[in-house]
Structure 1
Amino acid sequence: MASFSAYWTAIALRLSAAPFNLTPRGIAIFALVGAAGAIATPLAGRMGDRGWTRQGLCASHLLIIAALALCASAEFVSSWALALVMEAAGAILLDVGFTCDQTLGRRAVNLLQPEARGRINGLYVGLFFIGGGVGAAAAGLAWSYGGWFAVCLVAGSFGFIALMTDAMTTGTP
């Protein structure tokens, strides 16, 4: 959630600046691209049902990292149109990775203790929103000190931390 929140907190700043100079309406239209990530929900659910939760979580964290690397590299493209397409593709990949992570994570949490599902799910959601707040705050600091590239670096680092957590809990990423 921290990666997702960091990206979506700062993307409006990036898109309103040169070379894009999008209006609030243009930024809102760009944000609709993120809705494409919703297609990942049933796919992630099927992965979990087939016993591929760990592999799916690792893949979603790799996807988040790759998406943010793509968005960061858009900073160095001379064509604003190509850079905007790269940002849109990165947003879609980020949202797919985030959606898979959330779906598989919630599935795993709900299977821990069925009799305590409500309490565990409440804790999971609370921690998820704390991660979102941390990501938003980190994006603000990163934007202030290093612009869009720094935001992507910070957001990608949250994905990397999640991937390393996967590796430490499973033995292999």
Structure 2
Amino acid sequence: MTQPSQPPALSRRLTLILATACGLIVANIYYAQPLAGEISRALGLSPQAAGLIVTMTQIGYGLGLLLIVPLGDLFENRGLTLCVMGVGIAALATAVLAHTVSLFLTAAVFIGLGSVAVQILVPYAAHLSAPALRGKAVGDVMSGLMLGIMLARPVSSLITHLSSWRMVFIISTLVMILLTLTLGYVLPVRRPAPGLRYRALMASIGSLAVHNLTLRRRALYHAALFGAFSLFWTVTPLLLTGPEFHLSQVGVALFAFAGVAGAIAAPIAGRVADRGLSKPATLFAMLAAGTAFLLTHIGDTGSHLKLGILVLAAILLDFGVTMNLVIGQRAIFALGEHYRSRLNGIYMATFFVGGAIGSALGGWAYAQGGWGLASLLGIALPAIALCYFASERPATE
């Protein structure tokens, strides 16, 4: 019982199941973003505090990245995943029934906490794959995750338009129950080798972050790019529903579907990394993110041309950010099998902070100087990453 298990190799069927699971689980973090106004009005939350609906979910997710995801290096992965998903199911059901602000915000924290199951599954896929195909495996699974991120907002907007915001959480609760049962049946056992106890495991996280240059670089690269991503998707709904474009929530939902095209970058990035082309692909990803914001300065605000350019920018930005994410994960997963979950937790937590900063900067910049100022900040973030990347030595992946 003390020996690490040797699960079967990652089959095409299991890859598809993991990709689907990652997309469905991660979507729970993003469903509430376009619904913050609807939910706050229903629960009596002031417009100024409506952002707490999203923030509390992010806090829960961030805590889970640091406190739960590293447990993948300590406990059997399938059982850990199912337990964490159980927390998410209970939280989603609570959100459905919540009629007070305090209860809903508490549920939001645990929705975020339960959603970190996705970051247990991604290194789990890396464990099941052969080293030469690890980038392909991670890229294929991450394509599902990115689809979940990009589809969650338009799907929740459309469901709310047709029914109510509570229906979004009802459907998600039922989907998570079915998914948990499915994963419990199909996932092979993967038990890590005996090693550290929990306290020592958590204490090692700081050492890994400080002493591992590849991890530190990759995490900071993506913090900048994910900050730009979060800025774009925080500000563009405000721009599109404003006096320049006058789009409805359905129109914003349709616009958000454009970003789905960027998900095709995940499997491409994995295969490119497997061929030893991580550095040129990283350069391309950073340039793509910066160029996306530059493109948005073409055309007159409110014109059909401008709207088309914004769609193109969304696709290019999402493509670059997804590519950089997968290349970064492939790089850190190659650093060591026995602390792969801890590396993933540090990586994700770092760029998640970058995303939160990007959202906050975007909202402030748009209020102060409109899209012009916000887009300049959007250009600056990948530019900072590019400057840091330029200092990378040849030995660093």
Alignment TM-score, normalising by the size of structure 1: 0.93
Aligned AA (1:56) = A
Please, which of 319, 324, 327 is the counterpart of residue 104 of structure 1? Answer: 327
Give the superposed CA RMSD: 1.3
Please, which of 250, 261, 270 is the counterpart of residue 25 of structure 1? Answer: 250
For the pair 1:160 / 2:379, whether they are aligned, the reply is no
- Residue 17 of structure 1, CA deviation: 1.8
Equivalent in the alignment of 2:269: 44
- Residue 79 of structure 1, CA deviation: 6.7
Give 3-state SS (helix, strand or coil) of 1:169's partner. coil
Please give the alpha-carbon distance, in whole angstroms, between the structure 1 residues aligned to 2:282 and 2:300.
31
Aligned AA (1:41) = A
Equivalent in the alignment of 1:13: 238
- Residue 18 of structure 1, CA deviation: 3.1
Residue by residue over 1:119-168, the C-alpha shift from the partner in whole angstroms, topping out at 9 and shown as x without a partner, is 01111011121111010011011111111011111111111111111101
Cα distance, 1:106–1:22 mapped onto 2, change above 3 Å? same
Aligned AA (2:343) = I
Unaligned runs of 5+ in 1: none
- Between structures 1 and 2, the one with greater helix share: 1
Equivalent in the alignment of 1:58: 283
Please give the alpha-carbon distance, in whole angstroms, between the structure 1 residues aligned to 2:237 and 2:365.
14
Aligned AA (1:81) = H
Identity across aligned pairs (percent)?
A: 37
2:244–2:301: 8 Å Cα contact kept in structure 1? Answer: no
For the pair 1:77 / 2:300, whether they are aligned, the reply is yes
- Residue 81 of structure 1, CA deviation: 0.6
Please give the alpha-carbon distance, in whole angstroms, between the structure 2 residues aligned to 1:147 and 1:81.
19
Alignment TM-score, normalising by the size of structure 2: 0.41
Give 3-state SS (helix, strand or coil) of 1:147's partner. helix
Please give the alpha-carbon distance, in whole angstroms, between the structure 2 residues aligned to 1:43 and 1:117.
22
Please, which of 328, 346, 365 is the counterpart of residue 123 of structure 1? Answer: 346
Q: Whose RCO is larger (CA < 8 A, sep 6+)?
A: 1
Unaligned runs of 5+ in 2: 1-225
- Residue 48 of structure 1, CA deviation: 0.3
Give 3-state SS (helix, strand or coil) of 1:115's partner. coil
Please give the alpha-carbon distance, in whole angstroms, between the structure 2 residues aligned to 1:34 and 1:109.
26
Pairing of 1:122-141 with structure 2 (within 5 A): 122-141=345-364
Cα distance, 1:133–1:99 mapped onto 2, change above 3 Å? same
- Residue 78 of structure 1, CA deviation: 6.3
- Residue 113 of structure 1, CA deviation: 2.1
Aligned AA (1:99) = T
Give 3-state SS (helix, strand or coil) of 2:335's partner. coil
Aligned AA (2:322) = T
Residue by residue over 1:50-105, the C-alpha shift from the partner in whole angstroms, topping out at 9 and shown as x without a partner, is 1011111111000000011012x14x426711100000000000000010011111
Equivalent in the alignment of 2:368: 145
Please give the alpha-carbon distance, in whole angstroms, between the structure 2 residues aligned to 1:109 and 1:145.
38
Q: How many residues align?
A: 169
Please give the alpha-carbon distance, in whole angstroms, between the structure 1 residues aligned to 2:350 and 2:367.
26
Please give the alpha-carbon distance, in whole angstroms, between the structure 2 residues aligned to 1:152 and 1:36.
21
Equivalent in the alignment of 1:92: 315
Please give the alpha-carbon distance, in whole angstroms, between the structure 1 residues aligned to 2:237 and 2:352.
20
